[in-house]
Amino acid sequence: MRILGIDPGIAIVGFGFVDKQGSKIVPVQYGSIQTEATTAPETRLLQVFEAAEELLDRYKPDAMAVEKLFFNRNVTTAFSVGQARGVTILAAAKRGISIAEYTPMQVKQAVVGYGKAEKKQVQEMVRIFLKLKEVPKPDDVADALAVAICHAHSSGLNDKLNGVSRI
């Protein structure tokens, strides 16, 4: 199963494709979609959408996992990040790709084993899980890979809970 993990943002969208092969998780491709702050918001959203479409068409994931938004301070940032998150979800939905959402706590629990883990701990576990030489940069990329790892760990359990059997 190929999974695309997304860490949404308007300036930077982290993405990470992993393949779940039995109990192994293998990195396929990872990076970021970046937009310029001086560009009009609607143009930035279009850039994110088109880049997401290109990635989906190129790497053909079976599922997409997205981090749920949690903001307690800057409402303006929350709206723009939510819009960017929406266009990535739309790109996947147009292709019939299943979409799962995870809270930051769920991602940390799945990757580190502790829901209140520090960001550096999550990033280091991503590096170890995927046998990478270094933590992917920017941080959004490591976060996206963490979301994909979370889904890889959770999808088998979710399938069993939903009565689905994959052979």
Check whether 156 has a pLDDT greater than 70. Answer: no
Q: Is 62 annotated as catalytic?
A: no
> Is residue 157 very low, low, confident or very high in pLDDT (cuts 50, 70, 90)?
low
- pLDDT for 77 equals 76
Unique residue bearing structure tokens 């995927």: 130
- pLDDT for 2 equals 98
In this prediction the pTM is 0.90
Catalytic residue among 54, 139, 140, 143: 140
Average pLDDT, the chain: 90
Higher pLDDT, 33 or 67: 33
Q: Is 7 annotated as catalytic?
A: yes
Catalytic residue among 36, 67, 101, 143: 67
| Cβ atoms 18, 3 nearer than 8 A | yes
CA distances to 13, 70, 98, 125, 134 from 110, rounded to whole Å, are 21, 18, 20, 10, 20
